[in-house]
Each structure stands twice: as structure tokens, then as C-alpha cells.
């Protein structure tokens, strides 16, 4: 009886630990693929540095030197992203951002990041704007297009 109870407890713990691991990160990006806003802001402000390709996949735009794609939740804009990305080398430094709302609610970042991943781009980063573009970028005085 004791062995059966131990077996049941072991199986239950294995099941629940497997569930918690799969729920840990079901995002298409890793923590290492998040780029803090201060990084591109300092690069944009220094024209002597190699500039990353910054792709705006949201509704508002605004980061200086970004290429406007439009909301990636729309298939036509995903097609535009695919076409635009196709102009760059697979190892190009690409940064995407939306900033419309908190990451957990954003309809644009997941399809855009997933597409670039499927296209085998190796240096794609997601600009870490966990709240929104205004709070995490503009309010900090980072470079904006006017």
C-alpha cells in the first residue's frame, strides 16, 4: 500500500512539474531576445555606431529611424514585414517593437516575432516595452520621430 501511494505521489508530482515547466515561457522569444530600451536609444543617439534595423509592428510608431510596418495582427502587414525583412541578411540586427499595450495583451508582437523566427533570422530582438511605448520609451526621453 505504501509503495502504491508513493508511486501515485511520484506520478502526480511529475505531471504537475511538467505542466509548470511548459507554462513557464510560452512566448516565441527568450529572455535573452528582449532588448532593454536604453540599448537602442544610446545607439540611435550615436551615429558613429552600427544602427540596428528597427521595425515598427504596432499602431502608433515613433521610435526614431524605425521602419513603419503597421500592426502585425493584420495579415497584410505581416506580408509587408516578410517583404521588408527579406531585404536584409539573415544575421542582420533586427529590433521589433509595438508598444500599444502591455506585452500580455499585445496582438502584434507574437505574430511578428514568430514570422521572423520562421524566416530563420538569427539576431532578432524584441524591444522590451512591457507597459507601452509612452511609458517605457517616450517618457524616458528616448529618441522619437516627430
Task: Tell me, yes or no, whether 146 lies in a domain.
Answer: no
- Tens place of pLDDT for every residue, the chain, 146 residues? 665 554 445 544 545 444 444 345 689 999 999 999 999 999 998 989 999 999 999 988 789 999 999 999 999 999 999 999 999 999 999 999 999 999 889 999 999 999 999 999 999 999 999 999 999 999 999 999 86
Looking at the domain assignment, is residue 68 inside a domain? yes
Q: 3 lies in a domain? A: no
What pLDDT is attached to residue 2?
A: 60
Q: Is residue 56, in this structure, part of any structural domain at all?
A: yes
In a domain, 46, yes or no: yes
Q: Containing domain of residue 99, as a range?
A: 27-140
| CATH number of the domain within which 131 lies | 3.40.250.10
Q: How many CB atoms lie within 10 A of CB 29?
A: 20
In DSSP notation, 8-65 reads HHHHHHHHHHHHHHHHH--SSS-GGGEE-THHHHHHHT-TTSPPPEEEE-SSS--BTT
What's the Rg (C-alpha) of the chain?
A: 20
Total domains, the chain:
1
SS3 at position 126: strand
Amino acid at each position: 500500500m505504501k509503495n502504491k501511494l508513493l508511486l501515485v505521489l511520484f506520478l502526480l508530482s511529475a505531471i504537475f512539474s511538467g505542466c509548470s515547466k511548459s507554462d513557464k515561457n510560452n512566448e516565441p522569444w527568450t529572455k535573452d531576445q528582449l532588448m532593454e530600451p536604453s540599448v537602442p536609444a544610446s545607439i540611435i543617439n550615436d551615429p558613429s555606431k552600427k544602427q540596428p534595423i528597427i521595425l515598427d509592428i504596432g499602431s502608433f510608431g515613433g521610435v526614431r529611424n524605425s521602419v513603419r510596418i503597421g500592426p502585425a495582427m493584420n495579415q497584410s502587414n505581416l506580408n509587408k514585414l516578410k517583404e521588408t525583412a527579406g531585404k536584409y541578411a539573415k544575421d542582420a540586427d533586427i529590433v521589433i517593437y509595438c508598444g500599444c499595450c502591455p506585452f500580455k495583451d499585445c496582438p502584434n508582437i507574437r505574430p511578428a516575432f514568430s514570422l521572423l523566427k520562421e524566416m530563420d533570422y538569427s539576431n532578432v530582438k524584441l524591444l522590451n516595452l512591457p507597459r507601452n511605448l509612452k511609458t517605457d520609451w517616450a517618457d524616458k526621453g528616448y529618441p522619437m520621430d516627430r
